[in-house]
Structure 1
Amino acid sequence: MLKRAAVLLCVGLVLALGSEVSQVLRVTPALADQDEQATLVVIEKGIRRLTLERDGQVLARYAVALGPDPVGQKRREGDGRTPEGVYAVDFKHPRSRYHLALRISYPDQQARETALRAGVSPGGDIMIHGIRNGLGWLGRLHRNRDWTDGCIAVTNAEIREIWSRVPDGTRVEIRP
């Protein structure tokens, strides 16, 4: 009876804490060799593609999901759009709610000024990330619709590859 109670307690804790436990156990990928690291990340919203480049040569390409209203420039927080422009990876978040995440340096000064004139928040925390913790089993199915809040989403396996090949400070170009 005691053994059964202990098992049920453990199962309950795993279900209740599911994604939190997975974050504690997560190991972040090591940075790839210098010649395999990207010097540029290009995101083409119209064709839902992220490309890693090194000195003009394509290293890898990934299909992505975006926000639910991806056409056009991001204007305000909550508009479901992915910003367009030139940014940089300014932080790698190893304990993200979306497996792993690379934060993009949006909003820039222009976006802040535009939002201020409109009396709205420009939003922020735009990331290249994996699938929400606990839903990694979706894999490529997540791309069947645009579902993020304006971020760029790839599979968990893909974000581990991207994480290892994109150091902090890497230039990010987001195109229409």
Structure 2
Amino acid sequence: MSRRRTGLAAAAILAVAATGFVVADRAQIGRVAPDLVAEPERADRVLVEKSARRLTLFRDGRVLAAYPVSLGFSPVGHKQREGDGRTPEGVYAIAYRNPLSVAHLSLKVSYPNEADARAAQDTGYEPGGDIMIHGIMNGFSWLGRLHRLKDWTSGCVGVANDEMADIYARVDVGTPIELRP
């Protein structure tokens, strides 16, 4: 076989394998949500520092772990309305855990609260919602830590998939989360 044919065959095999990987990732084939860790290793507080692009898990005032994050595509300032690309600021709680998210696992932040909803409606807008801490969008896990090069979410807090699995295992429903400028 000529070099050209060998190269084309190798490229075709690589393309099929890559497509299979993306399809399996998008379909969440083989995804298993991690169980919660033992109580002493679970966070009792989550802090997101937007300007530092950092999420920190705390237990009894000590740092359990810290992760670099990506934010909404327009990250400066508090979320005002649906579609503004901002990540909220304030104190909320984790409302639920989603093992079958459109991104690799997710934790729902309780935004909007009553004040957020009222402020948005006073200006004639919807407040938006579905603010999550989540991994990379299904089908794009191959990006890995490259996601940090740009703020890309619609207002959520994005982390790499392995980091999201660790966060998911350490944060339960009801855990307070503070998002600071």
Structure 2 counterpart of 1:7: none
3-state DSSP class of the match of 1:61?
A: strand
Normalised TM-score (structure 1): 0.89
Gaps of 5+ in 2: 1-15
1:56 aligns with 2:61: yes
What is the alpha-carbon distance in structure 2 between the residues aligned to residue 20 and residue 135 of structure 1? 8
**Sequence identity, in percent?**
54
Match of 2:133 among 121, 128, 132: 128
Contact preservation (8 Å) 2:22, 2:139: no
1:146 corresponds to: 151
Deviation per CA, 1:73-123, whole angstroms, max 9, x where unpaired?
100000000000000000111111101000000000000100110010000
CA distance in 2, matches of 1:158, 1:16: 20
Rg bigger for which structure? 2
State TM-score, norm by structure 2. Answer: 0.86
* RMSD (CA atoms): 1.7
Q: Identify which of 67, 70, 73 aligns with 2:72.
A: 67
* Aligned-partner Cα distance in 1 for 2:141–2:123: 38
| In 1: Cα distance, 2:26 partner to 2:142 partner | 17
Work out whether 1:174 is the aligned partner of 2:179.
yes
Mapped partners of 1:47, 1:77: distance in 2: 24
CA distance in 1 between counterparts of 2:22 and 2:172 reads 34
Alignment: residue pair count: 165
Provide the secondary structure at the position in 1 that maps to 2:75.
coil
Is 2:119 aligned against 1:114?
yes
Unaligned runs of 5+ in 1: 1-10
After TM superposition, give the deviation of residue 25 of structure 1 in Å: 2.6
Match of 1:90 among 90, 95, 108: 95
1:34 is aligned with what amino acid?
E
Q: Which amino acid aligns with 2:108?
A: R
| Aligned twin of 2:31 | 26
Q: Aligned letter for 1:138?
A: L
**Counterpart Cα distance in 2 of 1:29 and 1:16:** 21
Q: Which residue of 2 aligns with 1:155?
A: 160
Measured in 2, the distance between the counterparts of 1:117 and 1:89 equals 26
SS of 1:47's equivalent in the other structure is: coil
CA distance 1:110–1:51, change in 2 (3 Å): same
Which secondary structure does the structure 2 equivalent of 1:114 belong to? helix
Match of 2:8 in 1: none
